Amino acid sequence: MIKHRGFPSRLAGTDYQFTIRRAAKTRPTRLVARERYADRRPADRRADAAFMAALWDHFGEEPFARGNLDAGRLSWLFGREVIAAEDPFDPESYDALLRIDPDRARRSFPEIFAEQP
């Protein structure tokens, strides 16, 4: 499992986890596209925005391996702002390549990209 050094491990002051410490003994948690409803708690929205900002700062538009990124947190963005970068895509692999869809990310999180062109 690739460990993304320098990537924040969690949202500061909360229990919202961004990375995992070690690989699962059996198989990695499957990535699934989770629906984000309009009535989500503000703390959940802040966690999504902070995770997206960390992904953008760390990887930009380049493809990246899933590695030690938390599957639960990644699933809130998967299929929309974060998409598969390879075909076929294995949602249960730590080596699976992902990438950010910058257009979708800008629409979903305008506060992150406000100062960028």
From the CA atom positions of the chain, what is the Rg in Å?
A: 14
Q: Which pLDDT tens digit goes with each residue over 44-65?
A: 899 999 999 999 999 999 999 9
- Encoded tokens for 60: 């930009």
State the amino acid at position 87 in one-letter form: D
The pLDDT-based confidence of 25 (bands split at 50, 70, 90) is confident
The pLDDT-based confidence of 115 (bands split at 50, 70, 90) is low
Per-residue model confidence (pLDDT) at position 20: 84
Per-residue model confidence (pLDDT) at position 11: 87
Look up the pTM and report it.
0.87
Domain that holds residue 46: 1-117
Q: What is the mean pLDDT of residues 16-25?
A: 83
Q: Which pLDDT tens digit goes with each residue over 84-112?
A: 999 899 999 989 999 999 999 999 999 88
Tally of structural domains, the chain: 1
